[in-house]
Structure 1
């Protein structure tokens, strides 16, 4: 009986001490953890100064390592082996680092050309508006600054006879004035012919498509043949009655639709250059 009681008493005492093993493992892990943290937190002051100095030089120069800019340097400011900016692993030449221009602030040649063109267009607009006002041509010539360019709309009343595409003698005044201004602008010029929706009965042209195209071509040929302007500067098209600006059901609306639109386009030529400004005649 006494042996059985003794065995029963030894069992629970042995099981109660097993938590010490887990506790000891936990303390060991904590000790290892703090040793690792201490080792990681140790800073080499010399290396830290070298790295921070090199980073400061790089940011001030505005260039990156990939672009061949300053590299991480050693204690005396020399570049580390294999980090020279010339790509050969040799130290680069002495002297202060050149600060590269910021591409976001430096305008490109094309941007400068657009700015020059806008200056020319502004002067052109002011000149043609003054010409229209001085000659009381507000009912025949309409000038507008549109997103695509400066638009000059000419009524067919002083350009052509009814159903014809041959220019009237009185049209030379405004066309000569425009020619002198076109010579001072480096921009493409579009000439568009428009008609009303009334069908053509008899005569040379079979429909409004032919009439509108020939009217635009007549204005174009005047600029090229009579005034000697550069043919590469121009383009023309005929739209018949497909782009009305007035109501074709009324007499006044049809008169508005019979027109030639000349637009100095906001676009550079293919070479992207600008011609020197010339004074208007």
Structure 2
């Protein structure tokens, strides 16, 4: 009786057809990550440009707004140009109000830069200071640079910087407030019964002086106010503090708010 032939046992192999779609999925994921990374790089550049613009607005550095220059490229390469502020705001989808605010800030920064240069060139750092605030550009003038003690009559030498301030104000459209401030030392004279009258008269006299300059300033843009001793910028407990509080301020008010 013949035996039945034995069946040969073949080694079973795993089905490897899944590797093809798996590799395709990995390729697609890699491509997706590359696209996301590239997009993130573009967004970071836009963010850096926006950050630089706000630094211009609040730190007083006009580099980007005035004459943007990219870093010098290496030999054989060309660096992309840095866009101006309006282009940056357009790319970021800024509203018209935001654009107007940033453009006005650039204008105030440029005015501040010109006045700071004039102050430095003429050695007036102890008498005049400027600061860009949320309300606008503030020009602070020490009282002794304008008036004798206890008086609202302008010194003749105040013309040296009064004319310059008037020239800088002329091309602007913002409203301007001139305010007078005193220390807390009481005054009681026939002309000035209190610090209210002294500070008010000083602000009005300096405002009139600015308007009297032949620069075309429009009086409807201007107002004057006396604050007495009630808005100090330093302590009244020391002579240095009281000297800082005795001042006249010229505020170029913003037309636009953030």
TM-score grouping bracket, smaller chain normalisation? 0.5 to 0.7
Q: Give the match for residue 113 of structure 2.
A: 126
- Specify the SS of the correspondent of 2:114: helix
- Give, in whole Å, the separation in 1 of the partners of 2:119 and 2:232: 23
Alpha-carbon RMSD across the aligned residues, in angstroms, is 2.0
- Give, in whole Å, the separation in 2 of the partners of 1:218 and 1:115: 33
Q: Deviations over 1:103-134 (max 9, x none)?
A: x94754x5554444222211101111111111
Q: Deviations over 1:68-122 (max 9, x none)?
A: xxxxxxxxxxxxxxxxxxxxxxxxxxxxxxxxxx9x94754x5554444222211
Q: Give the match for residue 265 of structure 1.
A: 253
Q: Give the match for residue 221 of structure 1.
A: 208
- Specify the SS of the correspondent of 2:180: strand
Q: Give the match for residue 158 of structure 1.
A: 145
Q: Give the match for residue 196 of structure 1.
A: 183
Q: Give the match for residue 148 of structure 1.
A: 135
Identify the match of residue 233 of structure 1 among 221, 224, 230. 221
- List gaps (5 residues or longer) in structure 1: 1-101, 269-281
Instruction: Indicate if the aligned counterparts of 2:137 and 2:252 stay in contact, CA closer than 8 A.
Output: yes
- Give, in whole Å, the separation in 1 of the partners of 2:193 and 2:109: 41
- Specify the SS of the correspondent of 1:157: helix
- Give, in whole Å, the separation in 2 of the partners of 1:106 and 1:112: 6
- Give, in whole Å, the separation in 2 of the partners of 1:143 and 1:119: 15
Instruction: Indicate if the aligned counterparts of 1:117 and 1:187 stay in contact, CA closer than 8 A.
Output: no
Q: Deviations over 1:118-174 (max 9, x none)?
A: 222111011111111111111111111111111110001120011111111011111
Runs ≥4 residues deviating over 6 A: none
Instruction: Indicate if the aligned counterparts of 1:150 and 1:263 stay in contact, CA closer than 8 A.
Output: yes
- What TM-score comes out, normalization by structure 1 length? 0.55
Instruction: Indicate if the aligned counterparts of 1:179 and 1:229 stay in contact, CA closer than 8 A.
Output: yes
Q: Which has the larger radius of gyration?
A: 1
Mapping 1:64-103, distance limit 5 Å: none
Is 1:251 equivalent to 2:239 in the alignment?
yes
- Give, in whole Å, the separation in 2 of the partners of 1:123 and 1:189: 17
Mapping 1:5-84, distance limit 5 Å: none
Structure 1 residue 220: Cα displacement:
0.9
How many pairs are equivalent? 165
Q: Deviations over 1:48-80 (max 9, x none)?
A: xxxxxxxxxxxxxxxxxxxxxxxxxxxxxxxxx
